[in-house]
Structure 1
Amino acid sequence: MTSPFEIRVVLADDDPFVRRGVADIFAATPDIRVVESVSDGDEVPDAVRNHRPHVVLMDLKMPRVGGLEATRRMMALPEPPKVVVMTAMDVDDLVVQSIEAGAHSFLSKSEAPETFQMSIRVVAAGKTLFSEESVRQIVTARPRESTGGLERLTDREIEVLRVMATGATNAAIGQQLFLGETTVKTHLSSVFQKLEVGSRVGAALVAFRAGLVS
């Protein structure tokens, strides 16, 4: 019987050894379960419909349908799962495009097992795990300049965005700006809507490109 606290994951990667290794990482946890593993992005929609996962962990480069296109298809669903993309390389343009398409986070396949587990838990909780350095790498990989709707933000929303872009949690944002966590969540929801982004990473990209974070 499925635990109400269990995080369901669909894993998509064309390498069977990667699928096995990642599945083993989550098998060691009591709260994360790989409900299906597929070998290509075109198999993800059926897996999502059949299992209703909380998170799809997706390789970026697969033979038929890569992770970028599969992410775009997921985001078009009425209630899309969270998407974490995996890459065997450093941050590149595919990672950037995937984040802009709606992926909530990204992982290098060389990360420690604990990082995989933490990322899935954080993303499943509706948050995003990223560091200031990782966003700098994204901006360096694709330094497109855009205000991205910043002119629609209030002064307080810009303050919240600036702190969030450094990788701060809601609690840390609230502590720094003397706000309650509920108020921080309300501001961030408005920021995402006005910037037309689907994740904290997407909003952080706008902040970095606009020079809000030095």
Structure 2
Amino acid sequence: MTDDAPITLLIVDDHPVVRDGLRGMFEAAPGFRVLDEAANGVEAVEKAAGLDPDVILMDLRMPGGGGVAAIRELTRGGARAKVLVLTTYDTDSDTLPAIEAGATGYLLKDAPRDDLFNAVRAAAEGRTVLSPAVASRLVSAVRGPGAPRNEPLSAREREVLALVAKGTSNREIARELFISEATVKTHLTHLYAKLGVKDRAAAVATAYQRGILG
């Protein structure tokens, strides 16, 4: 995807009316192109392989193949697409498995249109996007054992965290900061402890909540 190329989308939802509404919304807005639609997770994985979209808008609860299983399959297969969950539900049983499976973001279907557009742009850039309700739920649910130590992050830890928020891999972070991958992992371990979290998604969510990441 180049700067002037439209962001390509695959819309996944079992309700035709929802798919039509989303397609119409994005096709009427500049900077987006809807490649296709899918009615369930299995169809989404198949179409994503052939179409290679930038972003997949993924519902979670669908007969014939749910969203979490599809996200897991896309992640396992090394799909380039970023998955932005767009669902009616924000319960722990939906939110956490989707994030853990590899979703880049999680929005509720009642999100304002401009928020949805901004979320898709952010997801395309590899940034984590979480609705406020989901972010607070995720942060409380995935905290590591014990209370966070509330120690300030070092300048280097902030650099690593900012790159993590962009979806950068450990190898790419090491190359960009001219350090070894082992050092990157050490920085991650330290910042996880300081933030009181256990993984990358939770670190990013907590950092946004605390204003560490803008």
Q: TM-score, normalised by structure 2?
A: 0.69
- How much has 1:79 moved relative to structure 2? 3.9
Q: SS state of the match for residue 18, structure 1?
A: helix
SS of 2:36's partner is strand
Relative contact order: is structure 1 or structure 2 higher (C-alpha 8 Å, sep ≥ 6)? Answer: 1
What does 1:118-133 correspond to in 2, within 5 Å?
118-130=118-130
Give the aligned partner of residue 114 of structure 1. Answer: 114
| CA–CA separation in structure 1 for the residues paired with 2:186 and 2:28 | 35
Identity of aligned residues (%): 27
- In structure 2, distance between residues paired with 1:44 and 1:79: 12
- CA displacement 1:133-179 (0-9 Å, x = unmatched): 64222234x355259xxxxxx944444578x6xxxx88xxxxxxxxx
Q: Distance in 2 between matches of 1:46 and 1:65?
A: 12
- Given the alignment of the two structures, is residue 85 of structure 1 paired with residue 95 of structure 2, yes or no? no
45-54 or 84-93, larger mean C-alpha shift: 84-93
Instruction: Encode CA deviations 1:72-92: one digit per residue, 9 max, x unaligned.
Output: 001012343100011202343
Distance (Å, rounded) in 2 between the aligned partners of 1:33 and 1:193: 38
Q: 1:193 to 1:51 in 2, by over 3 A?
A: farther
State the distance in 1 between where 2:54 and 2:39 align: 19
- The TM-score, its normalising length taken from structure 1, stands at 0.69
- Structure 1 residue runs of 5 or longer lacking an equivalent are 148-153, 171-181
Q: Relative to 1, partners in 2 of residues 1:78 and 1:89: Cα closer, same or farther, differing over 3 Å? A: closer
Using the alignment, how far apart are the partners of 2:101 and 2:94 within structure 1?
10
Pairing of 1:22-33 with structure 2 (within 5 A): 22-33=22-33
How do 1:171-210 and structure 2 match up within 5 A?
186=177, 190=184, 194=188, 201-204=201-204
Aligned to 2:149: none
8 A contact 1:99–1:202 mirrored in 2: no
The CA deviation at 1:7 is 0.9
How far apart are the structure 1 equivalents of 2:111 and 2:85? 13
Q: Distance in 2 between matches of 1:91 and 1:114?
A: 24
